[in-house]
């Protein structure tokens, strides 16, 4: 009897976790083939996350390879904790217009691949965000058709969030997983029912697919909420991201075997070996992100060229018949047909190609196992791996009509605690 009840509880928890993950994914709409190099991020130096403090700037950039100066517009919508549309009017979260034209665009200069570069900064003179929360930025064409959408988060620092990373306490995964613990300090905010009103969310490397939620505080200490879970907030540590650099697009460079010039540049990377059975090796990275850059020109946005980049992976890991993908923030952490690898029986390699703008790119290889993303079977998982961990604190007091974000804490596993 007790065992059956326990199974029902576990199933309910897993269902809630699945719902929150799918809610995030279903709202991210991928672009058509001619839209490339989408970036939505803070304008702070070395900050690649689309998470900003209320009043600070967030920047959207993308390229249209049709290069026809198409007129695009944008729409901003407020979402709740579970990434469902909030039940509030746009005038409650926007000062100005929640839909307007993208006015800043210019043509590429002296590139083989022609494109139009678009740029949108928020807030601007037409649109100012008034409240914190989850937001979706959707780009529309001239007929109000959706081109693509990307999520971002606005927070207010109303509480302090302390975050720490630890080796997993389970002896079976002590060398392969990270556990996250955190505290929420609210000396200036009266929270009547923390277990109902406070909803934290944890991410690894600001990858939306790694979301862990539905956590209640374990301990209360004055104006402090403590979350000291052992297994509930654990992540596969994975491995350091692989990288390549095409800032010198005409010549081979870091991890680039050769470059060929046809109608555009073609960049061939060295064959990657699966690292799951190899020892951990320090390889400094930027945790799956990318930076557009070129050393040959002054304006990276419009003078960086495009290259067809070819990937090859030698792996004998058991994928269980599941698909293998090139994975990273170069396409918003999405699994699409474009970044799916094909197994070449002749060469014995997994192969794929991506059209990418000049720059420094991080990537890794993952397996899609049903709705789960497996980042450790091919690449391995090591507690020494350096990852970023973020905790966002959502708050919905009794009677409120929307979820606000009242705290944001982050740390890095370089500060690993045993």
pLDDT digits (tens, 9 = 90+) for 166-209: 999 889 999 999 999 999 999 999 999 999 999 999 999 999 99
3-state helix, strand, coil in the chain (%, to 5): 10, 40, 45
Number of Cβ within 10 Å of residue 332's Cβ equals 20
Q: Residue 35 has what pLDDT?
A: 98
pLDDT at 14 over 90: no
Q: Where are the domains of the chain?
A: 23-155, 157-237+384-415, 242-374
Q: Residue 7 has what pLDDT?
A: 43
Alpha-carbon radius of gyration of the chain: 22
User: Residues 392, 159: contact at Cβ < 8 Å?
Assistant: no
Closest C-alpha among 51, 41, 38, 28 to residue 146: 28
Q: Residue 371 has what pLDDT?
A: 83
pLDDT at 43 over 50: yes
Sort 289 into a burial class: Cβ within 10 Å, 0-12 / 13-18 / 19+.
buried
Mean pLDDT, the chain, integer: 92
Please give the distance of CA 96 from its chain centroid, rounded to a whole number: 28
Q: Which CATH class is domain 242-374?
A: mainly beta
Q: What is the rounded average pLDDT of the residues 301-305?
A: 97
Out of 3.90.600.10, 3.30.450.20, 2.60.40.10, 3.40.50.10950, select the CATH number for domain 23-155. 2.60.40.10
- CATH no., domain 157-237+384-415: 2.60.40
Report d(CA 122, CA 42) in Å as an integer. 10
In this chain, the answer to whether the domains covering 23-155 and 157-237+384-415 adopt an identical fold is: yes
Task: Please state, in angstroms and as integers, the Cα–Cα distance from residue 178 to each residue in 203, 259, 369, 374, following that order.
Answer: 12, 39, 21, 15
pLDDT at 10 over 90: no
Q: Residue 370 has what pLDDT?
A: 85
Q: What is the rounded average pLDDT of the residues 345-360?
A: 97
pLDDT at 23 over 60: no
Q: Residue 60 has what pLDDT?
A: 98
Q: Residue 418 has what pLDDT?
A: 62
DSSP for 39-56, please give it.
EEEESSTT---SEEETTS
Q: Residue 296 has what pLDDT?
A: 78
């Amino acid at each position: 009897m007790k065992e059956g009840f326990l199974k029902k509880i576990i199933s309910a928890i897993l269902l809630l976790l699945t719902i929150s993950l799918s809610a995030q994914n279903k709202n991210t709409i991928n672009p058509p083939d001619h839209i490339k190099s989408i970036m939505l991020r803070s304008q702070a130096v070395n900050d690649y996350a689309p998470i900003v403090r209320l009043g600070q700037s967030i920047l959207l950039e993308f390229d249209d390879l049709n290069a026809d100066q198409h007129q695009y517009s944008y729409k901003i919508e407020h979402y709740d904790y579970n990434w469902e549309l909030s039940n509030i009017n746009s005038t409650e979260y926007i000062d100005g217009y929640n839909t307007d034209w993208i006015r800043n665009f210019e043509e590429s200069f002296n590139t083989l691949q022609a494109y139009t570069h678009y740029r949108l900064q928020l807030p601007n003179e037409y649109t100012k965000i008034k409240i914190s929360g989850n937001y979706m930025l959707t780009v529309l064409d001239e007929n109000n058709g959706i081109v693509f959408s990307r999520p971002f988060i606005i927070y207010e620092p109303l509480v302090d969030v302390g975050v720490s990373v630890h080796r997993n306490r389970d002896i079976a995964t002590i060398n392969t997983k990270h556990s996250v613990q955190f505290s929420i300090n609210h000396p200036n905010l009266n929270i009547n029912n923390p277990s109902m009103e406070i909803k934290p969310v944890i991410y690894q490397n600001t990858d939306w697919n790694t979301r862990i939620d539905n956590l209640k505080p374990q301990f209360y200490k004055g104006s402090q909420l403590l979350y000291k879970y052992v297994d509930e907030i654990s992540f596969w540590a994975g491995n350091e991201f692989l990288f390549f650099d095409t800032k010198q697009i005409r010549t081979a460079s870091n991890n680039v075997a050769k470059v060929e010039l046809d109608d555009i540049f073609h960049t061939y990377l060295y064959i990657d070996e699966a690292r799951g059975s190899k020892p951990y090796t320090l390889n400094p990275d930027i945790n799956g992100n990318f930076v557009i850059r070129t050393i040959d020109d002054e304006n990276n946005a419009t003078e960086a060229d495009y290259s067809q980049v070819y990937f090859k992976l030698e792996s004998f890991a058991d994928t269980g018949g599941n698909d293998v993908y090139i994975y990273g923030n170069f396409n918003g952490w999405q699994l699409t047909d474009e970044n799916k690898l094909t197994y070449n029986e002749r060469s014995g390699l997994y192969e794929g190609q991506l059209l990418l703008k000049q720059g420094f790119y991080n990537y890794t290889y993952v397996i899609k196992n049903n709705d789960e993303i497996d980042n450790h079977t091919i690449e391995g998982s090591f507690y020494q791996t350096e990852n970023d961990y973020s905790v966002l604190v959502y708050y919905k007091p009794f009677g409120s009509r929307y979820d606000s974000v009242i705290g944001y804490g982050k740390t890095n596993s370089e500060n690993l605690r045993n």
